[in-house]
Amino acid sequence: MTETSVPERPLLRVNNIEVIYDHVILVLKGVSLEVPEGGVITLLGANGAGKTTTLKAISNLLQSERGEITKGSIEYQGQPIGKWSAPDLVKRGICQVMEGRHCFGHLTVEENLLTGAYTRRDGRAEIQRDLDMVYSYFPRILERRRASAGYVSGGEQQMTVIGRALMARPKLILLDEPSMGLAPQLVEEIFEIVRRLNAQEGVSFLIAEQNATIALRYGSHGYVLENGRVVMDGEASVLSQNEDVKEFYLGLGASGRKSYRDVKFYRRRKRWLT
Amino acid sequence: MLFALEVAISGLLSGIMYSLVALGFVLIFKASGVFNFAQGAMVLCAALTFVRLLELGVPFWIAAGITLIVMMVLAVVIERIVLRPLVNQPLIILFMATIGLNFFLEGLAQGVWDAQVHGLQLGIDDLPWEPLANSTGMLISIFDLSAALICGVLVASLGVFFHKGRIGRALRAVADDHQAAMAVGIPLQHIWAIVWAAAGIVALVAGALWGQRLGVQFSISLVALKALPVLILGGLNSISGVIVGGLLIGAGEKLAEVYLGPIIGGGIENWFAYLLAMVFLLFKPYGLFGEEIIERV
Ligand SMILES: Nc1ncnc2c1ncn2[C@@H]1O[C@H](COP(=O)(O)OP(=O)(O)OP(=O)(O)O)[C@@H](O)[C@H]1O
Ligand SMILES: [Mg+2]
């Protein structure tokens, strides 16, 4: 899976999509990316770069925010997904975990997990088996399963929503900022579980993250979004060595270039951070 | 004392009927956040269809079955042509749409059938229940008892259906977070069609029971107004709330009529419920059981 450039059919291919909100706000200006079967791909970018929009375009959740894809196409397993509704996509294996831990607050943790199995028709026993599987990956939420999801801790909520997505037996999980508002240790724990899910359950991931340090450590390939465009992409190990990425995402300033009089640098910095 | 008990019981019994009407509102509100102004018109629709079918000589249960089907089809049609195009519009627009729907349904029902007053006989006598009357002297109408029983069973089974199991979980999930519900693959449209159909069933039962009491006519759509104070008391999004709310209001207004009526003049029954609701709005704006919004950052 390290060779993403082989002309093998990727699990997901996003071709040059353009997204407009409210008929006038152009947010994505041609985004292309690929997720290979079994890959962990990361989507980096500052606030407002368009990461969430990209994920929602894939999972067809833009409509409810009055956004629409006006150009380009998205293919999943070689088929265009244009006409599929969000529930259709879930049935076919694409599940989004939204940013900001959207638990169903008045449902218990376990009920939250069970809603993830809504589209499945393979019977109680299978669902129970997957419930046990989720608990084996997230033992913390097993203890809290009877608690209202609205009142469990942020980390437990994040685990609940990832577990909920797993209950749909997805092939691809679109994970939006799993690190948001969580302590570094917990973030590490969650990414570790993502890695295990990828290796053991064969789930592919497309992860939008601002925390590039950790995202590049766990992902195999990364895309850098800026202002609705992909400005750079490559192997995670290569990206994390890139000077710009280091400077603006990893917080490791390249030595000896701290002068703001360096116009070229300053302009570049502006470009990165708008 | 016995008399007070008798009054309270007959109040509780009619209270269950209020709960039933209120439940129609709650289900739709939970699923879509919309206050369905057309609930009363649905009651009228169901009752008129039912009574006219009976008058045409259709046997009782078949007429009930046909009306039920009509209400379900109506639910699906409403979802398709009224709600679906308005998805993602501000809630106030959906609310306005239900106001429009209300007038449309009232017109439709009376256009297809007619605007006469129709007597409806469900075959349950409105007479005191003898065993109780003989043993304790309390006069409780058989009709009230049966109506309460029917409503009670319906409220309880809808309550269970919408709380437990796959559909119930999905409904509550949708109530909590529309977008997250879509993200896990719950089709909002199905849930909406289901709750509107349930509201249709509620409308039929309420329409039939009130129809026997009041006669089936335009004013039957006003029973929906009786549900408002129940909703305020119980909370717009709580199934158990409307049950308790209905009982409280039913008993409260009867007792007030009997005991306060002579002091401040009769007719209390007509406004007592609204007064109670106002007081509640001041002190418990979410209602007795209304779900408070969980805010956590
Ligand atoms: N519903 C909407 N209507 C209009 N504009 C929107 C909407 N949602 C997002 N935008 C705009 O689209 C741009 C990209 O937003 P998006 O949420 O995709 O960014 P992001 O990369 O996920 O940012 P963050 O890291 O803050 O989550 C932003 O400028 C935002 O203001
Ligand atoms: Mg985002």
Residue with tokens 């309880």: B156
pLDDT value at residue A1? 47
**Alpha helices for chain B (secondary structure H):** 2-32, 39-55, 60-78, 91-112, 130-136, 142-161, 165-176, 178-183, 188-214, 223-234, 239-255, 261-264, 268-283
Ligand 1 center from residue B64 Cα (angstroms):
52
Q: A98: which chain B residues are within 8 Å (Cβ-Cβ)?
A: 179-180, 183
Residue B113: HSE in the Cβ half-sphere, 13 Å Cα cutoff: 24
| Domain encompassing residue A33 | 12-241
pLDDT digits (tens, 9 = 90+) for A204-223: 999 999 888 888 889 999 99
Q: B180: which chain A residues are within 8 Å (Cβ-Cβ)?
A: 98, 102-104, 161
In a domain, A180, yes or no: yes
pLDDT value at residue A258? 44
In a domain, A274, yes or no: no
pLDDT digits (tens, 9 = 90+) for B228-265: 888 888 888 788 888 888 999 988 888 888 888 778 87
Q: What angle do CA B139, B144, B150 make, to 5 degrees?
A: 145
Ligand 1 center from residue A219 Cα (angstroms):
23
Q: If you count residue pairs, one on A and one on B, with CB atoms under 8 Å apart, how many are there? A: 90
- How are beta strands A204-209 and A221-226 bridged, if at all? unpaired
Q: Is B34 exposed, middle or buried (0-12, 13-18, 19+ CB in 10 A)?
A: buried
B contact test, residue of A52, A101, A118 with most B CBs within 10 A: A118
In a domain, A271, yes or no: no
Instruction: In whole angstroms, give the CA distance from residue A94 to residue B82.
Output: 30
Per-residue pLDDT tens digits of chain B, which is 297 residues long: 778 888 888 888 888 888 888 888 888 888 888 888 888 899 999 999 999 999 999 999 999 999 999 998 998 898 888 888 887 778 888 889 999 999 999 888 888 888 788 888 877 777 787 787 777 777 788 888 888 888 889 888 988 888 888 899 998 898 888 889 999 999 988 888 888 889 899 889 988 888 888 888 888 888 788 888 888 888 887 888 888 889 999 888 888 888 887 788 777 877 888 888 888 888 877 777 766 655 554
Instruction: In whole angstroms, give the CA distance from residue B103 to residue B122.
Output: 28
A contact test, residue of B164, B177, B184 with most A CBs within 10 A: B184
In a domain, A52, yes or no: yes
Least CB–CB distance from A119: residue in B88, B185, B296: B185
Q: B169: which chain A residues are within 8 Å (Cβ-Cβ)?
A: 107, 111, 114-115, 118
| Ligand 1 pocket residues where CB is under 6 Å | A 21-22, 25, 27, 45, 47-53, 65, 67, 99, 210
| This model's pTM is above 0.90 | no
Residue A200 phi/psi, 5° resolution? Answer: -90, -35
A59 with B181: Cβ contact below 8 A: no
A95 with B166: Cβ contact below 8 A: no
In a domain, A254, yes or no: no
Q: Which of B38, B19, B42, B58 is nearest to B238 (CA)?
A: B19
| Structural element, H or E, at residue A192 | helix A184-196
In a domain, A263, yes or no: no
**Ligand 1 atom closest to residue A228's alpha carbon, by position in its atom list:** 14
Q: From atom 3 of ligand 1, which residue's Cα is the shortest distance away?
A: A21
| Structural contact between residues A122 and A169, judged by C-beta atoms closer than 8 angstroms | no
Low-confidence spans in chain A with pLDDT less than 50: 1, 3-4, 254-266, 274
What ranges do the domains of chain B cover?
A: 20-221
pLDDT value at residue A204? 94
Ligand 2 center from residue B189 Cα (angstroms):
27
CATH for A194: 3.40.50.300
pLDDT value at residue A176? 93
CB atoms within 10 A of CB A46: 17
Longest dimension (CA), chain A: 66
Indicate the number of domains in chain A: 1
Q: Which ligand is nearest to the CA of A47?
A: 1
ipTM for the complex shown: 0.83
Residue A43 phi/psi, 5° resolution? Answer: -120, 110
Q: B88: which chain A residues are within 8 Å (Cβ-Cβ)?
A: 63-66
B185 with A87: Cβ contact below 8 A: yes
Least CB–CB distance from B182: residue in A86, A106, A165: A86
Identify the DSSP state of A118: T
pLDDT value at residue A272? 52
In a domain, A249, yes or no: no
> Could you give the 3-state DSSP secondary structure of residue A93?
coil
Q: From atom 22 of ligand 1, which residue's Cα is the shortest distance away?
A: A52
pLDDT value at residue A252? 56
Identify the DSSP state of A9: P
